[in-house]
A and B are shown apart, each in its own frame.
Chain A
């Protein structure tokens, strides 16, 4: 099996890697690049713990081949905070205690960021539908939704 050379951008930085043809982007991120923020929950696109953006589009990285990333721009949870400064969503998740075990949290943050980029003023219903592909078995979702809506309000005010 010959490896594939891929040139891409991750969180704005140029990245090159070699991957197997059947290796997923999630495996590349975690095992080849040491970016373990994206989690593997189900591996079948149901849980959203591996959420990343590819060319700005929210996807499950477990359902993308590493080879498909050639020439694209990838956004992961590692690109969310700017140095020590947390993204407003991250800050609000802490304030609202919108996480417990934390496995789903990176995926939900990436998905919520994508939501607010598309729709800075989502309703609660729109937020719940947008995040329906991110499963959390701890929180019961309510604190997550409140944190996202609170972050959205703050971000609107700041902009």
Chain B
């Protein structure tokens, strides 16, 4: 195996495109190194993107935030501006693993690992986040919800990688939140996850919403019907009931040791209602 550590994005793109074998991109490594060790991955090369300074930064852009693919969860949590604008995204990223994992794990990696239960992905989807994908033909921007194609599968070509995640400018009177259910208090994989992002008008009417569910389908899903249940309402009990029903209806989970189909389906609605209430409070509603 070869270890490649380019210092510019251009070099990284070139190395990945030119590599004749199986080349894996290394950001935080909290999934890749586990896979290497277990023999589930036997790459010919590893391309470490952490020495590319531009990918290690959180930068303001058009009122929003661009998060480099090598930025760790701990670095996100320490960024005041990001925490103020997108608390739901930061709290979702902060739920991944332990303090030690937080020191390394990245939301770009969480996205590319393409687990249906990835904690940060529903929050990014609800936030309307966009992944910037770099490849030999330049960069392309893809909505985060369109990146995962199935468990462990993404829309990325072999010679592409995610260079950054863009969180758009947060409108006035907006809030987002992420909740997951796990059977313990820490260090576990979501049985169900739900993120809600919403915007209120001056009179408290919800003018825009995005709702996303994790661990209830082969990929994290955007649930437009759930958003529609909130839009145009004061996010009152009736709207929350409709939101919960839409999420329960959209859930199409598997049964496994973590939860039955019935349980996951029910919990999707419960979490949606609770996450919407938190987002509402954060929006000043």
Contacts and interface: CB of A to CB of B under 8 A. Distances in A.
Interface of A: 1, 4, 20-22, 24, 43-46, 48, 51, 54, 57-60, 62-65, 67-68, 70, 111, 114-115, 129-134
A129 to B, nearest CB: 6
Interface string B59-82: 000000000000010100000000
Contacts of A43: 37
B3 A133 contact: no
A156 to B, nearest CB: 21
A100 to B, nearest CB: 21
B48 A133 contact: no
A4 B101 contact: no
A130 B99 contact: yes
Interface in B182-237: 186-187
Given A4-B3, A67-B3, A133 B99 contact: yes
B168 interface: no
Contacts of A114: 99
Interface of B: 1-3, 5, 26, 29-30, 33-34, 36-38, 46, 48, 50, 72, 74, 97-101, 103-104, 186-187
B43 to A, nearest CB: 9
Given A1-B1, A43-B37, A65-B3, A133 B100 contact: yes
A68 B156 CA distance: 25
B100 A21 contact: no
Contacts of B98: 45, 48, 132-134
B99 A21 contact: no
Contacts of B72: 57
A21 B101 contact: no
Given A21-B2, A65-B3, A58 B100 contact: yes
B30 to A, nearest CB: 6
Contacts of B46: 21-22, 65
A45 B30 contact: yes
A132 B186 contact: yes
Contacts of A131: 99
Contact of B97 (A45, A51, A54, A68): A45
A119 to B, nearest CB: 11
B104 A63 contact: yes
Given A45-B97, A65-B33, A133-B97, 12 more contacts: A4-B3, A22-B46, A44-B38, A45-B34, A59-B100, A63-B100, A64-B33, A65-B3, A65-B26, A68-B50, A129-B186, A131-B99
Contact of A132 (B5, B34, B74, B187): B187
A111 B26 CA distance: 24
